[in-house]
Amino acid sequence: MTDERGGRLLRPEDSSPRATFLELFFDLVFVFALTRVSLRLVEGTGGSVGTLLAEIGRTGVLFLALWLLWSITTWVTSRYEPEQPVIQFVVVGTMFGAMVMAVALPRAFEDRAASFVLAYLAVMLVRPLIIATALRHHPRRTVPLRLFAWAVAGAVPWLTGAVGPEELRLPLWVLAVAVDFAGLLLGWPLPRLGPARTAGWLIAGEHLADRYQQIFLISLGETILVIGLTYSGAEFTADRAGAFATAFVTTALLWRIYFHRAGHLLAEALRVARSPGRLGTSASSTHLVIVVGVLSTAVGYELVIAHPHGRTDPTWLVFVVGGPAIFLAARARFEYEIFGRVSRSRVAGLLVLLLLGPALTLVPPMAALALVAVVLAGVASADARRSRGRPSEPAASPLGHGGTGGGEFPAP
C-alpha cells in the first residue's frame, strides 16, 4: 500500500510550475561558480597547445561535476514539491556544497582537491538518503536509493584521486565523472531492480523548461560579469572600449538566437510529449553544451578586452571562435528537439565560423571578435526574416513520441 505521508513529498498536479524563490536563490551560487570555471580557463591560455588542452580537460571535469549537481537538483524540484521543508533543506544543503566546490575550483587539482571532492560527495550521498527517508515506504523511494548506490560507486575514484598521487588525479576523476553520468544516462540500474530511466519520469514540463532557460541566462550573466570586470580593471582605451562594446553585442546576439521560437517552446514541447522524460533528458544534455559554448565565449571576451592589439594567438581562437561555434551547434540540436528540423542559417553560421577560424590568426583579437559578432548577427537576421509575417510554429518534437505516455517508474 502506498505511504500517504511519503506521497506528500511528490509534486502535485496543481503545484505552481514556476521556479520558486529558493531555486532562484540556489542559482546565485552558480553565477559565482561559473566565473571560477572561466578563471581557470583564462589562466590556462598562456602556455602551449598541450598545456591548454590539459587545462580544458581538468576544468571540464570540474564543470561536469557542478553541472551534475545543478541538473539533479533541477530534476528533484521538478519531481518533488519544492515547498516541502525536506526539499527546501535539500536545496539549501546542495547550495552550500556547490558554494564550497566553487571556492575550491580554481585550485581543485592542486591543494584544494579534498575540499572539492568532499563537498561534492556530501551532496551526492546525503541528498538521496534524506529524500528516501522522507518518502518512507512509498514505491518511489527506490529511485533515490539507486542514486545513492551509484554515488557510492563513483565515490571510490573521486576520493582516490583526491588523496592519491597528483599525476593520477585527472584520469581517476574522469572515471568518476563517467560513472556518475553513466548512472544518469542508464537510469541507475541495480541487480534485480533494473533501470529507472528518466525517459519514463512524469515531470513538471513547464518547471523543467523554466530551469533550463534560467541556467542559460545564468551563463549569460557570467559573461556580463566577465565583460564588466575585465574592462573596469584595464586602462580605458579606444580599442578596449570597442572590444567591450563588441563583447556586449555578442552576448545580446546569443540571447536573441537562443530564444528565437524554439527557446520559448520547450515548455509546450514537454507538455504535449508522450514521453516528456525522454525529451527532458535530451534537452538537459543540449543545454549542457549550450552553457559550455557561452562560457568559452566569455573566456574569449576576457582575452580580447585585455589584449585587443597585435596578432591573435591561435590558442585564443579556441574560445573566441570555438565558443560561439559550440553554441550554434548545440542551438541547432535544440531546434531539432523542438521542431524536428534545423534552420539552414545555423548550419551556415557554424560553417562560416569554422572556415574563418584559421584566417583570424592574421588579424588583431579585436577584429576576430568583431567578425564573430557579424556572423552571429547574420544568423539572428536570417531568423527575423524567416519568421516575419508568419504565425508561430507549434512544437513538434520527434523525441517525445516514444514511451508509454504514463510517465511512471517501473515497478520497484
Give me the domains of the chain, ranges plus CATH numbers: 4-196 (no CATH), 205-387 (1.20.1410)
CA-CA distances (angstroms) from residue 365 to 39, 299, 311?
19, 13, 7
- Residue 130 has a pLDDT of 94
The residue with cell 546569443 is: 254
pLDDT of residue 202: 60
Could you count the other beta carbons within 10 Å of the beta carbon of residue 278?
21
151 CB contacts (<8 Å, ≥6 apart)?
Answer: 121, 124, 125, 128, 180, 183
Mean pLDDT (10-residue bins), the chain, 412 residues: 64 72 90 91 75 90 95 86 89 96 94 96 95 85 89 96 93 96 88 70 73 93 92 88 95 95 83 76 91 95 90 89 96 92 92 92 93 96 85 76 38 28
Q: pTM, whole model, 2 decimals? A: 0.89
Q: Which residues pair with 335 in a beta bridge?
A: none
pLDDT at 5: 63
Give the residue from 116, 111, 128 showing the smallest Cα distance to 166. 111
pLDDT of residue 301: 94
pLDDT value, residue 400: 58
